[in-house]
């Protein structure tokens, strides 16, 4: 996820700032940091001065010993990765490991259809943007066509817009800060068209990927695309509006961060920071006032409500309840109506990666990306049928949504968010399952879930029954617990969940901290990378991740501030098993100001698709620019490096020179 701009000022897209709100969990549930501290203190891992710094508290002693042995032998023995490591740093371009090519596949403004207009940054329009690749690409998924690894559909989320980087003539500088003029209706409508997602056919030709612009399945999804609301909240009075008195239809999807591809080949879009799109006020005693406060809305970060009443809560008080969901898109039919699947809960969804459990049910892992919020999973009631795609198309409307409680004895309990069970009753304001999913956060509060340090992407591995939770950071944490071990956690960490009996649908399991992130050479940071990790190999702020078809973990980051870390964000390969466990290597790094999103390997591992988001943002934190970056004065003009073109978010396709498997 990334911090959103406001209509008046621009704030840098740093995950260390106000990206996700201040943390709005009102409970006194034991936080993950407290649980981690108690767990490892009880196990007696810390001795003497080490107890104060907690440097080794949360990495497996066996892994530390093995990594130390590997280092002593002068190699990372047992690593599943083999590539020349990229040197960490900051500059205007991107960099990939030697022996690989990083080719630009799609940029903001590129054609999605053969008849789309050419990109003209000085004469943008809503109609043109609806036919062009959207802004700030985040999640990337690949769905093979005809069973081929060199031909398929690329599905890409467009999370949000950066007006100061998109539009000329709207910025003034005062006291070293950017101020943006209020938007007119045309600019707002262009931004709405730049949100959503893209479905586009791609094919590898002579070893290089290219879009198929006349592909029959190509599609743009925007903030105005008609969508259906399904599941337990569909039709509920709390989702009914003047425009939709049925509570079953909604226009568009917004702030789509990470996502997923289902086993049956549909595209999952996750609505995250919805709070910034709404303005207006509600009376303090309004039915939705406390509900919206728990989500931090309205935040009035955009000007949409000035031209579209549905984004003004004083005019349409139920409209925010129609966002914050998981959206499913049938990519096989470009005219299909996307569905907001309310059974998976409403919160700031980072993503929804899935896998099939041993009994055939499908499990989706979900992170709520805000300080002190929770880790969830959804288990379908029905079973996946690999031989009948149509039979799977409504699996996401019925199932059980769980929230995680991490205990200091190293166990994790999955608590069902089911109406009528425990405290989820009418006495506590939950009249039905619809109320539970509309107010998922409050329901999880009552169950005693563990507040986490910004849960972002969560990637399951069906072969091992494990899942990897990216916890980006939490600089507002004042007390540690078992699963969030550091106060003022600026660099984040990664939790490994080991489900009982290797069954992802299990309701209990165990957990470990795979890594505490940050610079291991600074003792007070408390990073726990293996000693085989080089000065280029460590990272902070884990955000998205991928488990490739060989079971290897890749981690992308968001928030490496050049002035603080001396490096940009990038993609790291992380060993999760064997003697090299806890070892990380830098494979790719982004240009200045950018966030590394995606990542998406093809099934045959010959290509990695990466999304490079908001390149050129900031600028004042890099000595190579030293001042705010905006359309007329950019810190980089990646990827075109053309003075006539602005900086452009883009999807990159990485392949190995001469062919072969990545990494």
Domain residue ranges in the chain: 32-656
Ramachandran bin of 598, using left for φ above 0, alpha for ψ from -120 to 50, beta for the remaining angles: left
The pLDDT of residue 503 is above 50: yes
Q: Which two tokens stand for residue 158?
A: 């467009």
**Cα dihedral: 475, 481, 517, 506 (round 10):** -120
Residue 629 has φ and ψ, to the nearest 5°, of -110, 130
By mean pLDDT, which of 16-20, 274-278, 362-366 is the weakest? 16-20
Q: What is the reported pLDDT for 247?
A: 98
What distance lies between CA 195 and its chain's CA centroid? 15
Which stretches does DSSP call E strand in 30-94?
A: none
Q: Which residue has the tokens 């990038």?
A: 570
Neighbouring C-beta atoms of residue 38, cutoff 10 Å:
17
| Cβ neighbours of residue 100 closer than 8 Å, sequence gap 6 or more | 83, 654, 655, 656, 657, 662
pLDDT band, residue 455 (cuts 50/70/90): very high
Q: What is the mean pLDDT of residues 168-194?
A: 95
Length of the chain: 663
Distance CA 279, CA 260 (A): 30
Measured CA to CA, the distance from residue 575 to residue 552 in angstroms comes to: 7
Find the angle CA(583)-CA(621)-CA(625) to the nearest 5 degrees: 115
Residue 48: count of CB within 10 angstroms of its CB: 6
Using an 8 Å Cβ cutoff, are 590 and 92 in contact? no
CA–CA dist 647, 434 (Å, integer): 43
What share of the chain in percent tops pLDDT 70? 90
CA distance 202 to 575: 31
- pTM equals 0.93
Q: Does domain 32-656 have CATH number 2.102.10.10?
A: no
Q: Which is it for strands 226-230 and 339-341: parallel, antiparallel or unpaired? A: parallel
* Average of per-residue pLDDT values in the chain: 91
In the sheet that holds 326-329, the strands lie side by side as: 249-251, 226-230, 339-341, 326-329, 267-271, 256-261
The residues pairing with 137 across neighbouring beta strands, listed in sequence order, are: 158
According to the model, what pLDDT value does residue 68 have? Answer: 42
**Residue 510 in 3-state DSSP?**
strand
- The vertex-307 CA angle with 302 and 309, nearest 5°, equals 95
Distance CA 590, CA 588 (A): 7
Per-residue confidence (pLDDT) for residue 62, from 0 to 100: 41
Q: CB 359: neighbour CB atoms within 10 A? A: 10
Q: For residue 520, which of 507, 510, 533, 508 has the smallest C-alpha distance? A: 533
CA-atom Rg of the chain in angstroms: 23
Distance CA 161, CA 135 (A): 6
Mean of the pLDDT values across residues 590-615?
A: 97
- Calculate mean pLDDT across residues 168-173: 96
Terminal alpha carbon distance of the chain = 26
User: How many C-beta atoms surround the C-beta of residue 298 within 10 A?
Assistant: 21
- Smallest CA-to-CA distance from 262 within 254, 253, 270, 274 is with 270
- The answer, yes or no, to whether residue 268 has pLDDT greater than 90, is yes
**Reported confidence tier of residue 563, pLDDT bands at 50, 70, 90:** confident
**For residue 283, with 0-12 CB atoms within 10 Å meaning exposed, 13-18 middle and 19 or more buried, which class applies?**
exposed
Query: Cα separation of 240 and 247, whole Å?
Result: 4
Compute the Cα dihedral for 290, 294, 300, 302 and give only its sign: negative
Say how many C-beta atoms besides its own lie within 10 A of residue 340's C-beta.
Answer: 27
Residue with tokens 């309990």: 413
- For residues 378 and 351, give the distance between their C-alpha atoms in angstroms, rounded to a whole number: 12
Would you say the C-alpha torsion 395, 397, 398, 403 has a positive or negative sign? positive
Helix (H, G, I), strand (E, B) or coil at 500: helix
For 397-409, the pLDDT digits (tens) are 999 999 999 999 9
């Amino acid at each position: 996820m990334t911090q959103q701009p406001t209509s008046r000022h621009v704030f840098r897209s740093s995950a260390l700032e106000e990206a996700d709100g201040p943390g709005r969990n009102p409970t006194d549930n034991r936080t993950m940091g407290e649980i981690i501290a108690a767990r490892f203190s009880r196990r007696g891992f810390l001795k003497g001065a080490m107890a104060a710094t907690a440097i080794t508290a949360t990495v497996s002693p066996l892994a530390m010993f093995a990594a130390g042995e590997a280092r002593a032998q002068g190699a990372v023995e047992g690593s599943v990765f083999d590539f020349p490591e990229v040197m960490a740093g900051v500059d205007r371009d991107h960099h990939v490991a030697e022996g690989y090519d990083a080719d630009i596949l799609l940029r903001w403004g590129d054609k999605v259809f053969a008849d789309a207009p050419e990109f003209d940054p000085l004469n943008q329009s809503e109609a043109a943007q609806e036919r062009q690749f959207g802004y700030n690409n985040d999640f990337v998924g690949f769905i093979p066509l005809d069973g081929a690894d060199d031909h398929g559909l690329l599905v890409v989320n467009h999370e949000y817009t950066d007006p100061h980087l998109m539009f000329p003539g709207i910025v003034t500088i005062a006291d070293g800060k950017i101020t943006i003029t209020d938007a007119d209706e045309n600019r707002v409508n262009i931004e709405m068209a730049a949100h959503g997602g893209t479905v586009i056919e791609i094919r590898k030709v002579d070893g290089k990927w290219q879009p198929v612009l006349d592909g029959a399945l190509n599609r743009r999804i925007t903030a105005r695309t008609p969508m259906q609301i399904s599941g337990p909240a569909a039709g509920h009075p709390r989702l009914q509006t003047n425009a939709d008195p049925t509570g079953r239809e909604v226009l568009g999807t917004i702030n789509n961060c990470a996502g997923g591809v289902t086993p049956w080949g549909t595209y999952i879009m996750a609505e995250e920071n919805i709070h910034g799109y709404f303005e207006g006020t509600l009376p303090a005693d309004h039915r939705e006032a406390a509900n919206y406060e728990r989500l931090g809305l309205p935040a009035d970060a955009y000007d949409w409500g000035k031209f579209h009443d549905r984004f003004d809560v004083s005019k349409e008080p139920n409209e925010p309840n129609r966002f914050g969901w998981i959206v499913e898109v049938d990519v096989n039919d470009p005219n299909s109506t996307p569905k907001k699947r309310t059974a998976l809960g409403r919160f700031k969804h980072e993503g929804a990666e899935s896998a099939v459990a041993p009994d055939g049910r499908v499990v989706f892992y979900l992170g709520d990306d805000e300080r002190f919020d929770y880790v969830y999973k959804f288990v379908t009631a029905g079973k996946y049928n690999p031989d009948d795609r149509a039979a799977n198309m409504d699996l996401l409307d019925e199932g059980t949504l769980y929230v995680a409680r991490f205990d200091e004895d190293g166990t994790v309990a999955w608590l069902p968010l089911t109406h009528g069970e425990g405290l989820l009753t009418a006495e506590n304001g939950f009249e039905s399952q619809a109320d539970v999913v509309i107010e998922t956060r409050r329901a999880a509060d009552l169950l005693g879930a563990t507040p986490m340090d910004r849960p972002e992407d969560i990637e399951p591995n069906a072969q091992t029954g494990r899942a990897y939770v990216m916890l980006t950071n939490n600089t507002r944490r004042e007390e540690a617990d078992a699963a969030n071990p550091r106060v003022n956690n600026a660099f984040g960490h990664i939790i490994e969940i080991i489900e009982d009996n290797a069954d992802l649908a299990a309701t209990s399991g165990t957990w470990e901290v795979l890594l505490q992130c940050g610079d291991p050479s600074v003792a007070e940071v408390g990073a726990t990378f293996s000693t085989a990790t080089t000065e280029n190999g460590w990272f902070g702020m884990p955000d998205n991740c991928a488990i490739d078809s060989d079971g290897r973990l890749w981690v992308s980051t968001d928030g490496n501030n050049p002035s603080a870390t001396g490096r940009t964000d990038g993609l790291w390969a992380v060993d999760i098993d064997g003697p090299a466990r806890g070892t990380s290597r830098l494979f790719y790094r982004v240009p200045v100001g950018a966030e590394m999103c995606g990542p998406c390997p093809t099934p045959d591992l010959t290509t990695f698709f990466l999304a490079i988001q908001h390149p050129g943002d900031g600028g004042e934190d890099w000595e190579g620019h030293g001042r705010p970056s905006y359309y007329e004065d950019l810190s980089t003009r990646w990827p075109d490096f053309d003075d006539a073109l602005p900086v452009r978010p883009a999807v990159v396709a990485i392949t190995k020179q001469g062919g072969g498997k990545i990494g």
